[in-house]
Structure formats: C-alpha cells, structure tokens
Amino acid sequence: MLKNLDLNKINGYLLLLFTVVFPLSRAVASMFMAYFVLYFLYSLISKNIPKDFFKNRLVIALLLYITYMFSTNLWNGIDNKIYETSYYQWFAIFGIAIYLYKNPQYIYKTITAFILGMFVSEILSYGMYFDLWTINGKGHRDPTPFMQHIMYSVFLAVASILLLNRVLSKQYNPKEKILFSIFFFTITSNLLISNGRTGQIGFVAAIIIVYLLHFKNPIKSFFISISLILIIFFTGYNMLKNFEIRVDNTITNIKSIINHNYNTSWGLRVGMWIVANDLVKEKPIFGYGVGGVNKATSELFKQKDFGFSKETKVFISKNHLHNQYLQTISEGGLVGLFLLFLLYFYILRLNINNKELKQLSILFVTIYIISSIGDPLLIKQFTRILFIVFIGIFLGASLQTRIEND
C-alpha cells in the first residue's frame, strides 16, 4: 500500500494545506516550517537540488544573513534565548523553493491557497467586528482572529495588494476582475478596521508601486494611486469607527510627543529611536547580539534617563525596538543591517519570467520594507513565516525561470 503513495503529490497537498491554515494557527505554522526545513535537508543529503543552487545570489544572501544573525548569539552569551529567534525556520525557504522548482504547477495553487486562508480569516474578523462572536476574548474593538493586530494588518496588506495587482492585470477576464475587485474592497475595509497601522503604511506604498508597474506614464500613475489612497482612507475615516479612532489616536500621539510625553504608541517608538541611537554608537559594527538589546538598554537607562517616564523606560527595556532596522542594527550592527538590505536587494533582482509573479515579488518586498519601520516583522512568528512562504515561492519561480531560459 505504501508503495502506491505519491510522496511528491503528498508534499504538494501539504504545502497547500499549510498555506491555507497558517494564517489561522500558530501551532500549525511552526509544524509545517519544521517539515519544509526537513524537506530541504533531505533534498540536500540526496543531492536532489537544482544545479548551482548555492551559487544563486539570493540563496547566498539568505545564508549570509541567517548564519550571521544566528552567530551573534556568540557575543551575547549562548543561553535559552538562542532558540527564541527560530532562525532555523528560514531554511524552509529553500525547502519550499526546491519543491516549487520541481513542481511549478503548484506555484499559483499556493498563492490561491493563501487567498483562501485569508478569506476564511476575513469572515471570522467581520463576525467579530459586527459582534456575532468573539475569538480569544476579542470582539469588535480588535477584530483580529488569531494574531496580534500589527501582524494581521501585514497579512491583509499583502492579500489586498495581490488582488489589486490582479484587477489591473491584462491576464484576467472581466468576470474574474469583478470577483477580485469585490474581495479587494472587503479585505481593504478589513485592513482599516484591524487597528494595524503597520500594514496600512506598507499598503499605501505598495499602491503607488502597483500603478507604476502597470502604467507607462509615471506622473499619471502617481496621481491615480494617490487619488485611490485618499478615497480609501477618507471613506474609511467617515464610515469605519475603528479606523476613525486610530487616526484620532495618531494625532493625539503626535501632540503628546511634541509635549515630551513618550508613553503612547507612537511616543514609545520615537523613544526607541532615541535609545537605539546611543546603542549603535556604543557597538556600531557587530551590535549586541540577538537577545542582547534589552540588557544593554537596561544598563543604558542606569546612566541616562533621556527625560522618559518610568513607565516608558520599563517598556523599552523589556520589549523589542518596534522597528526591524533598529532591531537588526542593534543586534547585528552595521554588518547585520547591510546583510538585510542585501537580502531585499536580491529578492528585487530575481529573474522571473512570469510577469505577475515578478510584479508580486516587488510589491511584497515593498510592503515589508515599509512596514518594517513600524515593527520587526522578521522576528515576529506570523509575519516571519509569511515572508518565508512568499520568498520560497519567488525563489522557486526564479529557479524555474532559469530552466525555461536555458
């Protein structure tokens, strides 16, 4: 009976199942990451990997970033914190890419599976917003079913821009575009009520890029995209109470910062920039190592209080820096930050014959580059795994492109 099993198809079904479910379950997400890490190791041991795989520039950039950031534990002192970063999960990128390289028919299926998972998540979110049910004790004030609102907003931004890209594409027929437009409207509304400003700023940047990708006239594209952004946010402010509250809170936060009160959402982020400036001056090249920033911050507050309240200092010294770039440069120094930008650069430079996939790779990275200003997306479990899945898809498509071009 086991001889009749098609392991290749089973792996494909597992990938699709995982992509549907991982926005809904933290446990499932971790389990499948481990599975595709093992798939990569098996492919490596059996020498069943693409030719010149380790000469691929994105593969090299990934290995350099993963190895270096993991190695920073050495100057932080190896303890249980070494496991918290889950850098091993990054190797799942290679497992997913190798599978899709061998089975390119699953590339679009995997993206569709993600959209399906987000559709289920959206239904649950709207049910919470309209007080039909609560999930994990949350209701209409925080309609984010299975993850924190910042991470959920990034998922929504990716799904929304993926749909907008399809609406603008010549590849789809009018009936399909109508369906995509409806889903774009509902998921964008979900983004506005989700309370996640991190995904919202990434979404704004991606809207501008998506129009530049589809229309030759850059000036016209810019004004169309700005008009769409204004319509979306003006309508959202006047029709969606959650979004109105978040915008008003943002204005209040900015006023508080002007009055040197940093104990607000935006104020704490400004405070972290101030603190990170001193941290980087102390160890600019190699940083404090993964897990070493909180200890360094606590020591810094013993020397300087920066005019912060006690609550502000406690929060900053016990949390990450709410910014991927500050976190990376503080943990890995300028070397770590350079390797992160190198990684983004080679994702953008991927050679992909499929026009939609190439556009999507640019839009996806745009969302991450901009949204990372608001939170360290690559160390948060859900957004790290979202990154791993899509970079695996793009790398797999690029490896397949090489075959097509040979």
> Given this model, what pLDDT does residue 24 score?
87
> Given this model, what pLDDT does residue 83 score?
44
Q: Is the pLDDT of residue 110 over 60?
A: yes
Residue 75's pLDDT band, with cuts at 50, 70 and 90, is confident
Q: Where are the domains of the chain?
A: 2-48+85-249+350-405, 60-75+262-349
Cα–Cα dist 401/399, whole Å: 5
> Given this model, what pLDDT does residue 306 score?
87
Could you read off the pLDDT of 114-139 as tens digits, one per residue?
A: 999 999 999 999 999 999 999 988 99
Give the rounded distance of the alpha carbon of 35 from its chain centre.
21
End-to-end CA distance of the chain: 39
| Nearest of 140, 107, 149 to residue 15 by alpha carbon | 107
Average pLDDT, the chain: 90
| Nearest of 169, 195, 156 to residue 382 by alpha carbon | 156
Angle at 155 between CA 206 and CA 61, to 5 degrees: 70
Collapsing DSSP to helix, strand or coil, 135 comes out as: strand
Could you read off the pLDDT of 21-70 as tens digits, one per residue?
A: 988 888 888 888 999 999 999 999 999 999 889 999 999 999 999 999 98
> Any idea of the CA torsion for 184, 186, 189, 193, to the nearest 10 degrees?
-130
Give the rounded distance of the alpha carbon of 160 from its chain centre.
14
| Nearest of 79, 51, 18 to residue 294 by alpha carbon | 79
For tokens 């050495």, the residue is 74
Collapsing DSSP to helix, strand or coil, 171 comes out as: coil
Contacts of 270 (CB under 8 A, 6+ apart): 257, 262
